[in-house]
Amino acid sequence: MTGSSGIMGSRLYPALVEDGWEVVGITRGKGSSQGGPGREGAAEVHGEFVNRVCDFADPASMESGIFDGCTHVLHLAAQGSPDASFEDILRSNIISTYHAYEAAKRSGVKRFVLASTNHTQHGDSMVVGGGAGSMDQSRLGGRLMKLSDPPTPDSFYAASKLHNEDIGKMYSRVWKNFEVVSLRIGWVLYDDPTELKDSEFETYLRGMFLSRRDCIGFCKAALTCSIPAEDNGYLCAYALSNNSERVFDLEETIEKLGYSPQDSADDFQWSKNNKAEK
C-alpha cells in the first residue's frame, strides 16, 4: 500500500490486516496528509502504518524491488488537491504513478488498484465558474453520470488521474496477468459529513460522501473481484456511499465489484426536518 500514512491509508491499513492481509505500508517519509476544509492534515499522519520509505517520483530513491513479494498493490500515494499546480501534479501523480506501475510489473504483481477520483467527471456537474468542489446537479438535467460517459476533468489533478487510468488500461492489455482496477473515489475525509454543513462545500459533500466503512468495502472488493475476460484485465468503478444527492450511477459498479455501499450522507442530521441521525 503506497500512501499508507495518509487519509485513506490510515483507514485501510488496519482494516486489511484485520481481514487477514499481510500489508506492506509504503510512504515517502514523515509529513502531513493533505487534509481538507476544516481539518489539519498533520492529524491524519500515522507512522505505525509505514514499513518502507520510497519516493516514487525519484528513481534514485526507489528500491529496485520495492514491491518484491507482493501480489497486490493499492496505490494511494498522490497529490490530492484539485488546486495543485501542474508542476506538482506532474511529479507527484504522473511520474510517480508510472514508476509505481513499472515497479509492480517488475515484481510480478498480479493486481494493481489505482486510487482515481470523482473529479475525472466532475466538470459536468460543477458550478460554472465555481471551481472544483462546487456542485450544481441541475446541470445534469436529472440524470446520473455513468462510467461510460466521456470524462470531464475539472483540474490538472483530475486530468492526471485520467492519464493514470489510461496507463493502467494499457499495462493490463500489453502485459498479461497484470490486472488494474481504477476506483473513482468520492470524499472520504469526514466520518461525519455535517462538519461542512452550511459551508460552500455542503452540496458537493452530500453528493460525494464516502464513509469509512464503504471506503474499506470498495477497496477490498477492488483487490479481490473477478475481472471478466472480455474486459482484458481492466476495470473502472466508482467508490462513494449511497447518497441520494450523488451524481454517479452505482449500478454498474455494484455489479462489477460485488459490493453495495452500506452508508449514505442522508443518514446524518443535516436539518431539523431530517429524521435520520447518527
User: Does the residue 17 lie in any domain?
Assistant: yes
Point out which residues pair with 24 in neighbouring strands. none
pLDDT for res 30: 58
User: Does the residue 274 lie in any domain?
Assistant: no
Packing angle of the helix pair 156-174, 96-106 (nearest 10 deg): 20
User: Does the residue 150 lie in any domain?
Assistant: yes
pLDDT band at 51 (very low <50, low <70, confident <90, very high): confident
> pLDDT higher for 228 or 276?
228
pLDDT for res 165: 98
Least confident of 81-90, 128-137, 155-164, 254-263: 128-137
pLDDT band at 203 (very low <50, low <70, confident <90, very high): very high
User: Does the residue 197 lie in any domain?
Assistant: yes
pLDDT, averaged across the chain: 90
Given a contact cutoff of 8 angstroms between Cβ atoms, the answer to whether 162 and 151 are in contact is yes
> pLDDT higher for 59 or 224?
224
- Other C-beta atoms closer than 10 Å to the C-beta of 175 total 12
User: Does the residue 276 lie in any domain?
Assistant: no
User: Does the residue 198 lie in any domain?
Assistant: yes
Q: What is the CATH number of the domain that holds 106?
A: 3.40.50.720
pLDDT over 80 at 210, yes or no: yes
Mean pLDDT of 210-214: 97
pLDDT over 60 at 32, yes or no: no
pLDDT for res 33: 60
Given a contact cutoff of 8 angstroms between Cβ atoms, the answer to whether 44 and 12 are in contact is no
Q: Which residue, chain included where needed, has cell 503506497?
A: 2
Mean pLDDT of 1-7: 90
* pLDDT tens-digit readout, 81-96: 899 999 999 999 999 9
pLDDT band at 38 (very low <50, low <70, confident <90, very high): low
User: Does the residue 277 lie in any domain?
Assistant: no
pLDDT band at 264 (very low <50, low <70, confident <90, very high): very high
pLDDT over 70 at 277, yes or no: no
Residue 106, domain extent: 7-267
User: Does the residue 31 lie in any domain?
Assistant: yes
**What type of residue sits at position 86?**
F
pLDDT over 70 at 34, yes or no: no
pLDDT band at 58 (very low <50, low <70, confident <90, very high): confident
> pLDDT higher for 109 or 30?
109
Least confident of 52-66, 119-133, 187-201, 227-241: 52-66
Mean pLDDT of 40-52: 67
Prediction pTM value: 0.92
Number of domains into which the chain is organized: 1
